[in-house]
Copies of this chain bind each other. A is one copy, B any other.
Amino acid sequence: MDKVKEIVNQVIVRGDDALIELTSKFDKVKLINLNATIDELREASDSLSEDVKISIDRIWDQLKNFHDSVKPPNIGGGRDGIYFGIIWRAIEKVGIYVPGGLKSYPSTLMMAGIPAKVAGVSEIYVCSPSRNGKVDPALAYVALKLGVKSMYKVGGAQAIAAMAFGTKTVTKVDKIVGPGNLFVQAAKFLVSDKVGIDGIEGPTELVIIADDSAKPELIVKDLMAQGEHGPSTFLVFISWNDSLLEKVNGILESLSKGNSSDMNFYLVKAKDQADAVDIANRISPEHLSLYVRNPRELLSLVRNTGAVSMGYTPPAIIDYAAGPNHILPTNGWSRFRGGITVYDFLKPIMYADAMSPSKDLVRASITLAKYEGFQIHGESIGERYE
């Protein structure tokens, strides 16, 4: 945390110079320009294979459809002479962090950018570490589809600081979203008294609950797919079926013998279906898979998780294309928040037009204001309506 504070302070004090120096120091990349030019983005995007372009377009369409269906309408109502409601307003400037460097995650840019765009965010900015100064072709393709205002080739805690405080080149945003390593997340926490954040995302988590309708090979496949995110991935399989638990255990053991896998799996024996869901609720995992005959029935018992893959559905299809987000609460955060939706980019502005409020409500307000010692509050209401 002290290291991250030092990085954030450097960016506040020295702006772009600090970004160039820190990128050279940590990422070993000498940046000529922090901000990818439109020509750079077009050139990178043009080099992308047709196959990947078509895939992104197809997935885009599916994700947009999901988030369109979630977008809330404004609410207007009223009662007893008071007209009231909520107007949903999009956040104006949003910064999306996309991890990068050796790998690239166009899917993550879609997962954050599409709900932002559906919500109506007018200015989307992206920070993602470049590959030797170059923007990944698929990332460039998605950025252009999103119509981002700027794409900065900066990563790490310094990128978060730049978007939170602004530099000569990097625009100060209203909210920062997206996954990232420990430094990125620590920086998000540090700046979260100044700027909105989606949350603090840690290593990924998957809990699978299965009954005897599930195929043990596919359970293991799903666990291993999630495990691709790295050795700190938290992987749990829960069942009340001894035979299934043994089969899954057997496959995992045979794999660990033959392979240099560094994945850790937890197998849990539950009493029954309800107990299995109860255990999952207490874990509050990022991803939950209900690989059972009656997934909708079990879903009704689920309280704490980010996203649920139901029945035969592999969790990986949610990571890419089913509709729900893959930027989800980890580390128990699903106790109090969900994954990224349009709601992360909308604010409810409440309003009231008290044209002729009922007399008893006016009286009640004045009485309570006086009780709390707010004399002038009461007068300001009384002089209007009494």
The docked-state distance in angstroms from the alpha carbon of A357 to that of B310 is: 13
Binary B-proximity of A149-161 (CB < 8 A = 1, otherwise 0): 0000000000000
> Do A324 and B307 contact each other (CB < 8 Å), given the known contacts A58-B364, A372-B103?
no
Q: Which residues of chain B are near A193, meaning CB under 8 Å?
A: 189, 200
A217: min CB distance to chain B, Å: 8
The docked-state distance in angstroms from the alpha carbon of A337 to that of B356 is: 30
> When the two chains form their complex, are residues B228 and A374 in contact, meaning their CB atoms are under 8 A apart?
yes
Task: Assign chain A's interface to a size class.
Answer: 35 or more
A202: min CB distance to chain B, Å: 10
Q: Which residues of chain B are near A376, meaning CB under 8 Å?
A: 221, 224-225, 227-228
A79: min CB distance to chain B, Å: 6
> When the two chains form their complex, are residues B372 and A313 in contact, meaning their CB atoms are under 8 A apart?
no
Q: Which residues of chain B are near A314, meaning CB under 8 Å?
A: 354, 380-381, 384
> When the two chains form their complex, are residues B338 and A343 in contact, meaning their CB atoms are under 8 A apart?
no
A75: min CB distance to chain B, Å: 6
Q: Which residues of chain B are near A347, meaning CB under 8 Å?
A: 334, 336-338
> When the two chains form their complex, are residues B341 and A348 in contact, meaning their CB atoms are under 8 A apart?
yes
The docked-state distance in angstroms from the alpha carbon of A242 to that of B318 is: 59
Does A138 have its Cβ within 8 Å of any Cβ on chain B?
yes
Does A306 have its Cβ within 8 Å of any Cβ on chain B?
yes
> When the two chains form their complex, are residues B316 and A82 in contact, meaning their CB atoms are under 8 A apart?
no
Does A213 have its Cβ within 8 Å of any Cβ on chain B?
no
The docked-state distance in angstroms from the alpha carbon of A83 to that of B308 is: 12
> When the two chains form their complex, are residues A322 and B200 in contact, meaning their CB atoms are under 8 A apart?
no
Q: Please provide the chain A residues from 348 to 375 with a CB less than 8 Å away from any CB of chain B in the complex.
A: 348-355, 357, 360-365, 367-369, 371-375
> When the two chains form their complex, are residues A324 and B338 in contact, meaning their CB atoms are under 8 A apart?
no
Binary B-proximity of A172-216 (CB < 8 A = 1, otherwise 0): 001100000000000001001101100010000000000000000
- Where the two chains meet, the residues of A that have a C-beta atom closer than 8 Å to any C-beta of B are 51-52, 54-56, 58-59, 62, 65-66, 69-70, 72, 75, 77, 79-80, 82-87, 89, 91-92, 103-107, 138, 174-175, 189, 192-193, 195-196, 200, 218, 221-222, 224-225, 227-228, 295-296, 299, 302-325, 333-339, 341, 343, 347-355, 357, 360-365, 367-369, 371-381, 383-384
25 chain-A/chain-B pairs, Cβ below 8 angstroms: A52-B371, A54-B364, A55-B365, A59-B364, A59-B368, A70-B348, A105-B372, A175-B335, A218-B380, A221-B376, A221-B383, A309-B353, A312-B354, A312-B384, A313-B352, A316-B369, A317-B352, A317-B357, A317-B381, A323-B350, A337-B347, A338-B347, A338-B350, A341-B350, A343-B343
